[in-house]
Amino acid sequence: MPTISFLGSGNAFCPSGRLHSLVLIEDTLLVDAPPTVVPQMRSHGVCPSQITDLFITHWHGDHIFGVPFLLLERKWISDREGANKLMIHSHLGGKDKLEQLCELAYPESLGDLQWVSYNTEHGETKGWKFERFEVCHNPITEPYGYRFEKDGFILVHCGDSGPCDNIERLAPEADVMIIELGIPDYVDSPYHYTPSRLTDLALRNPDTIFLATHNFSNSGESSELPKNVIEVEDGDVFKY
């Protein structure tokens, strides 16, 4: 039974009561690493060294600036022997970008991590088959989402994206789609879902459960959305 935990549910601005969006799948697969990834994990009883796979969606700071903190914690606190391997999944060039980020954050401290590997291809981990797909966000950030499948259960994480062909294609087949709700309707940007855009998608896919994160609103506030859309809160856990 897949477990999906939200260690954060806010957008880049961390609305009141929400930390940066952070998703943990079955306690070991982490999607992105925001700046406060370590305290977010600790506050929900998650040890950084239990993470086996880190999936990067794109190169915005609220999604990757926590990578040096995550690696540093594992190196000096929760896995000093380097016994637990970590696979970082990103597209081509990700290894260089993250190594530069780590060197900038902690010079000469994170260059000897023999327990970290990088994967630029689709694959399988912990019984989950996964593949990346392009989404609609600022192109310079190289935005992607991930389609996960295990035992016939399909989970789609859209990363940060406005409406696009790949989300339209995957929504009907997904059991659960994690989707962002990054801006209100009055903000004009093609790079995010708004309440009205998400309403349209959900009504056309009534058999899919949409878990809305990367939320622009304060915790406890909600938009009028269809019944198959859940605006998640920090600490929410879903089992399917």
% of the chain exceeding 90 in pLDDT: 99
pLDDT at 99 > cutoff 90: yes
Q: Quick check: 147 and 170 in contact, CB under 8 A? A: yes
Q: Give the whole-angstrom CA distance, residue 57 versus residue 143.
A: 6
Give Cα separations from 194 to 79, 209, 239 (angstroms). 41, 17, 26
Q: What is the pTM of this model?
A: 0.97
Domain encompassing residue 65? 3-239
Per-residue confidence at 67, pLDDT binned at 50, 70, 90?
very high
Question: What distance in Å separates the CA atoms of residue 69 and residue 73, rounded to the nearest whole number?
Answer: 6
Confidence check: pLDDT of 219 > 90: yes
Q: Which tens digit of pLDDT belongs to each residue from 17-62?
A: 999 999 999 999 999 999 999 999 999 999 999 999 999 999 999 9
Residues whose CB falls within 8 Å of the CB of residue 219, separated by 6 or more in sequence, listed in order: 9, 15, 16, 17, 18, 233, 234
Q: Spell out the residues 6+ positions from residue 50 whose beta carbon is closer than 8 angstroms to its own.
A: 27, 28, 84
Structure tokens at 16: 């009141």
Average pLDDT rounded to a whole number, residues 90-115: 96
pLDDT (0 to 100) of residue 81:
95
Query: What integer is the mean pLDDT of 208-214?
Result: 98
Mean pLDDT of the residues in the chain: 97
What pLDDT was estimated at residue 1? 73
Give the tens place of pLDDT for each residue, 164-201: 999 999 999 999 999 999 999 999 999 999 999 999 99
Residue type, 51: I
8 Å CB contact between 216 and 182: yes
Number of domains, the chain: 1
Q: Which two tokens stand for residue 215?
A: 């939320």
Query: At 137, which CATH number?
Result: 3.60.15.10
Measured distance CA(4)–CA(21) in Å, rounded: 13
Rounded Cα distance, 24 and 192, in Å: 22
The residue-averaged pLDDT of 153-173 equals 98
Please report which helix (H) or strand (E) contains residue 97, including its range. Answer: helix 94-105
